[in-house]
Amino acid sequence: MEIIGYIASLFIGISLGLIGGGGSILTVPILVYLFDVNPKLATTYSLFIVGLTAAFGAIRHYNMGNIKVKSAMYFAIPSLITLLLVRKIILLRIPELIPIGSSYTVNRGLLIMVLFAILMVLASYSMIKKQNFVNTLSQIKPIQLMFIGAAVGIITGFLGAGGGFLIIPALLFFAKMQMKQAVGTSLLIIAFNSLLGFAGDVLNGVEIDYMFLLTIAFIAGIGIFIGTYLSKKMDGAQLKPIFGWFVLVMGIYIIAKELFL
């Protein structure tokens, strides 16, 4: 299973390079099911892997002129604040066994995976649905960017997901970006949030297997160079629905496995 996991890690980067998101949607299931990592620890590992991989991609896109730093900061700063609040205050206070009513309890790991699977299903809809983005706004809308950024920070904090499927539409609609600019700027935001969120976990005393993490991040890094190269040759918008169907199937599988199998 680990060999399959290493191969699958390549697609974390390919997805980020091609469509500016989706990497974390793959990372947590890969870590949990192929490498047998505890779900809560997997969210921490995901922050590092996705963050470092996105940083590589952001550098490539910056060199291609595809990053709008001002819009990225409108989005990233409130996102980082909510992310750190969730991981430093809320997540640490969630018990291993969560009572539901008077006679039932739910394992925290199961809850994380089911919530993550629901996120995958919702993300798949936004990927599969045909969207014709037309930038008709006369100016950047910072309030909307900040609001969505805060929401993405909550998602990233709980689940270790970068939130690219929310970031891309926000940048297209509220920051007047073209698709390639939205992809590059999304990678910068994901890198900023994820790496600082990971640093917060390290400061909170989470034990990290750095050799394992760097190995996965290195493979995903190769993937993002492949994805960035392919983005010059292929239209990421055309590939998004295909990836969306894959994410939908994975989400349904995780729900079925955790709740019924």
pLDDT in tens, 150-192: 988 888 788 766 677 677 777 877 777 777 788 888 889 888 8
Is 249's pLDDT higher than 80?
yes
- CB–CB of 188/69 below 8 Å? yes
Query: pLDDT (tens digit, 9 = 90+) per residue, 80-118?
Result: 899 888 888 887 787 888 777 767 787 878 888 888 788
pLDDT of residue 22: 67
Of residues 36 and 130, the one with the higher pLDDT is 36
Q: Mean pLDDT of all residues in the chain? A: 82
SS3 210: helix
Mean pLDDT score, 48-74: 88
The domain segmentation of the chain, as residue ranges, is 2-259
Cα separation, 56 vs 251, in Å, equals 27
Report the percent of the chain where pLDDT is more than 70: 89
Query: pLDDT (tens digit, 9 = 90+) per residue, 126-149?
Result: 778 776 655 555 567 788 888 888
On the CB side of 146, how many CA atoms lie within 13 Å of its CA?
9
Report the percent of the chain where pLDDT is more than 90: 15
Identify the sign of the CA torsion 260, 32, 77, 179: negative
Is 5's pLDDT higher than 80?
yes
Query: pLDDT (tens digit, 9 = 90+) per residue, 41-55?
Result: 988 898 899 889 889
Alpha helices in the chain (DSSP H): 2-19, 23-29, 39-63, 69-85, 108-128, 142-159, 164-174, 179-203, 210-233, 236-259
Cα 48 from chain centroid (whole Å): 11
pLDDT of residue 37: 92
Residues present in the chain in total: 261
